Amino acid sequence: MAKKNVDEYERVLTIIVSGNYLDNDGYITLTQISDIFRMISDRTRDSTIVPHIKAMVRMNLLKKRGELSYQVNEDWKDIIKLFKVV
């Protein structure tokens, strides 16, 4: 995993958690996550953003619910630390 990607994922998750992006159940939509990626990175197309969101699910940073909803893992900070050590 590239350090740049891990740092970017950390920024995305920080914005999600600290902003008003999560709904009452703690979920966020794919569109909202994509919008955050567009704000903080040079990625603009869904075809480049969606693979990163899928990587975040594989890393257990996000949990997928249905086709368009995601939940931030409560332990995401600890998981990010593990990837930064490597």
User: Could you list the pLDDT tens digit for every one of the 86 residues in the chain?
Assistant: 688 899 999 999 999 999 888 888 889 999 999 999 999 988 888 889 999 999 999 999 999 998 899 999 999 999 999 988 75
What is d(CA 35, CA 46) in angstroms, rounded to the nearest whole number? 10
Contacts of 61 (CB under 8 A, 6+ apart): 9, 13, 72, 73, 76, 79, 80
List the structure tokens of 64: 């997928």
List the structure tokens of 30: 């794919």
Report pLDDT for 20.
82
Q: Which domains does the chain have, with CATH numbers?
A: 3-85 (1.10.10.2260)
Q: Name the E strands within the chain.
A: 27-29, 62-65, 69-72
Report pLDDT for 25.
84
| pTM of the model as a whole | 0.89
The answer to whether 51 touches 60, Cβ cutoff 8 Å, is no
